Amino acid sequence: MIYLDYNGSTPVAPEVRDAMLPYLGPCFGNPSSTHSAGTAMAAAVEQAREQVGNLIGAKPEEIVFTSGGTEANNLALKGVAHAFGSRGRHMIISAIEHPAIVQPCRYLESIGFEITRVGVDRYGLVDPQDVNQEIRENTILISIMHANNEVGTIQPIAEIARFARQSNVLMHTDAAQSCGKIPVSVEELGVDMLTLAGHKFYSPQGIGALYIRSGLELESLHHGAGQERNQRAGTEPVPAIVALGAASALASKQCHAKRMQDLRDRLHSGLHEALGNRIKLNGHPELRLPNTLSISIANCSGGTLLAGLPELCASTGAACHGRTRQISDTLAAMGVSEESAAGTLRLSVGRYTKEEEIDQAVAILVAALDRTA
C-alpha cells in the first residue's frame, strides 16, 4: 500500500503512541478528582495544554480541548453567535471552507443569522480587500481557513485579521490542515480563535483543540461540570489529550516541510514528465502547503481511476465528502470546469512517505492512465 492521503488523516507517530500508552493502562483516573490518581491525570492534561500552546505560540490557558476539528469549529462559530448575537447577526466566511464550517453556518442561517461567502481567485486565494468590503456594523465574526484542505492554498490570514481588528470584529481561522505542516503563530496571524485537529499531525482521531484568546468568553456547546474553562464540559479524555500534546511537541521540534515539498515536487514532476499538458495544477503554485498536490487529469475520472488502484491510497477531493460525485465547493469556487473537476486527484505526502513510494505511485498512475487512454 502506498499512502498519499496525509491530508485525510495521518498515522499515529511512534513517539505519540509511546506517550499515550501509560494512560491506557496503569495511569488512570478522573482529572477532576482531588485524590492522587486524579491530580496525576490533571497534571498530564495541563502538560499537554502547554505543549499545544507552545506549538502555536499561545498561553496554556487559551487552549480548550475538543473531540476534533469539527467540534472546535462548531464551538467557535456557535459560541460567538450565542455570546455576541445581541451585538450583531452577520458573519463572513470564504467560498472554500471545510464542511465543518459550512454546515454550522447553514444551521446559524436557519436561526436568523446572515452569512456572507467571499469568493476566491483561480488559485483559491481570498482577497483581504474583498473581505473588508463585506464587513458591516452588525458583523461579529470572520472565519477564513488558514490552508485549504483540497488544493493547499494558504490564505493571507494576518491581513484579513487586521481588517477585523479595525472594525472590532472577531477573527477565527480553521488551521486543521496547516498545524504541524508549516509554522503557525496565533500572534503573527492576529486571530482570536484557531482550530487544531490532532489526526492531521500524527495524533489519534477524536482529539483536537480550539485556541481562544484570553478574555474572550464563548457560549459553551456542552453544559455540565464546567471543565475546560467552562467552555467544554465533560470528563477530559486524558489518553487522547496526552497524545495531542506529544504530537504538538514533536511538531514543534521536527519540521519536515522541506522534505515534504521535495517529495511533492518529485511526484508532480514525474507525472508531468509522463503526461505533459494532460495534467493541470490546482491551487497556488507557491502559496500552498508543502505536502499537497492537487491535479486535474484530462479525459479521466478520478474516482474510477482510484477505484481500480487499491494499492494506492489517495483522494479525489476532501476526504470528508469524497464519496459524493458532485464537484467540490472549492473547485467550483476556483472556476474549475466540471470535466476537469471529475479528473481531479488530491495527493498528499507526509512524515513517513519515501522517495521510492513516490516513484512507484507515478508508475502506477501512468500505467493505469495508459490502459484507459
**Residues designated as active site:** 320
264, 291 Cβ separation under 8 angstroms: yes
Q: Which residue type, as a one-letter code, is found at position 233?
A: A
For 358, the grid coordinates are 513516490
Distances (CA, A) of 307 to 223, 312, 313, 365: 44, 9, 10, 12
SS3 240: helix
Write the CB contacts of 162 (distance below 8 Å, at least 6 apart in sequence): 128, 190
- 348 beta partners: 5, 292
Side chain identity at 320, as an amino acid letter? Answer: C
C-alpha span between 123 and 347 (Å, rounded): 17
In angstroms, the first-to-last Cα distance of the chain is 25
Closest by CA position to 99, among listed 135, 128, 74 = 74
Angle of helix 355-372 versus helix 257-275 axis, rounded to 10: 30
Residue 293 is placed in which grid cell?
498536490
Cβ contact 153:124 at 8 Å: yes
Cell numbers given for 161: 485579521
Q: Are strands 292-297 and 279-282 parallel, antiparallel or unpaired?
A: antiparallel
CA 302: distance to chain centroid?
23
Tell me the DSSP string of 275-325: HGGGEEEES-SSSB-TTEEEEEETT--HHHHHHT-TTEE-BSS-GGGTT--
Cα–Cα distance for residue pair 293/291, rounded to 1 Å? 7
